[in-house]
Amino acid sequence: MFTTLIVQPIFNLLALIYAILPGHNFGVAIIIFTIVVRLLMWPLVKKQLHHARAMRRLQPELKKIKAASKGDRKKESQLVMELYKEREINPFSSIGILLVQIPILIGLYIGISRLVKDPQQIIDLSYPALHNLAWMKELIADISKFDATLFGAVDLTQAAMSSEGLYIPALIIVAAGSISQFFQSKQLMPQDKEARSLRKILSEAGRGKSADQQEVNAALGRNMLYLIPGFVFIIGLGLPSALPLYWLVSSLVAIVQQTIILREDVEEAEALVKNDVKDETVALAEPEAKQPMSAEEASRLRDEQKNAGTAALKSKKKARRRRR
C-alpha cells in the first residue's frame, strides 16, 4: 500500500525526468526533481514563511505580555493565545510542510535504496506508460546503460562512509547539505539579542529560580539550529549520496524562496514607515492650515488691508501731480 501510494508516484516523477532529460544523467534528474517538488510546494512553503514572518513581528508584543504577566504562567498563556487569535496566527501551521516533506523523503529513500541494490528497479517500479519512452526502451533492452552518477564524476549509489572506506565526493555533498540546512534554519530564526542560553536558564532553575517555559522553548529552538544540521550530517554519511544531494538542493532552493518572502517583508516594512511619516507630516500641517482665525486677528487684518489701500491711493495721487 505504501509503495503504491507514496513510493511509486514519487519514484515515477524522478524516472520521468530522467528518461526525457537530454543526456539522461541521474544526478541532474535528482536536481530537477527537487526543484520541481519545491515549486509544487510553493503555496504551502509561502504560507509557512508568512507564518514565520508573523511570529518574528510578534516578538516585541510577546515580551510585553511576559512583562505584564509578572510570572503568572496561566495569564501569560491566555494572553499569548488571545494575541494569536487576534492576529489570526496558528502556531502549529508550520508543521504542514513537514508532513508533506516526510513522505517525499521516505518515498525517495526507499526508491533510491532499491535502485542502488538493483538498477533493474528503475523499470520494475516505473509505470507501464513510461516504458513507451525511447530511453526506457533502451534500458529495458540493456540496463547497463543506466548512469547513476552526477555529471559522470560522483557515484550517487555510494555512501560517504562505508565498509569500502571514505568516498570524498559524497562527503562533500553531505557536508554542503548540512551547512545549507543550517543557513536555511537560521534565516527564519527570530533575532533576540536579549535571549539567554539554555545552560544559563537551567543553571538558574537549579538554584531554585522558576524557569519560564516559553524562554526554555525558545532556547531549545536555538539549540536545534545546530543539532539538526549535525544530525543530517551524521545520518547522511551512511546513505547513498543521491539522498544528501536531494537535501542539499532542497535547502538551497528553500533559501532562495525564503529570501524572496523576507525581501517582501522588508519592502512592506519600509512602505509602512514611509506612509507613517507622510501621515504624521500631513497631520502636523493640517492643524496650521485649518486653524480658525480669532476676532482680534480678523480686525487687525482688515486694518492692514485698509491702510494698504490708503497708501496705494496716496501713491497714485503723488504720481499724477508729478506728471502735471
Segment 150-187, tens digit of pLDDT: 988 888 888 999 888 899 999 999 999 999 988 988 87
All cell numbers assigned to 22: 537530454
Min mean pLDDT across 11-15, 182-186, 193-197, 238-242 is at: 193-197
| pLDDT above 70 for 289 | no
CA 124 from centre of chain: 38
CA 223 from centre of chain: 19
Going from the C-alpha of 209 to that of each of 73, 200, 217, 218, the distances in angstroms are 14, 11, 17, 18
- 119-130 pLDDT, tens digit per residue, is 888 898 889 999
Element (H, E) at 210: none
**27: nearest Cα among 150, 118, 146, 198:** 150
The Cβ-side half-sphere exposure at 18, using a 13 Å CA radius, reads 24
pTM: 0.67
pLDDT band at 228 (very low <50, low <70, confident <90, very high): confident
- At residue 154, the 3 state secondary structure works out as strand
Winning range, highest mean pLDDT, from 82-91, 254-263, 275-284: 254-263
Contacts of 251 (CB under 8 A, 6+ apart): 177, 180, 181, 183, 184
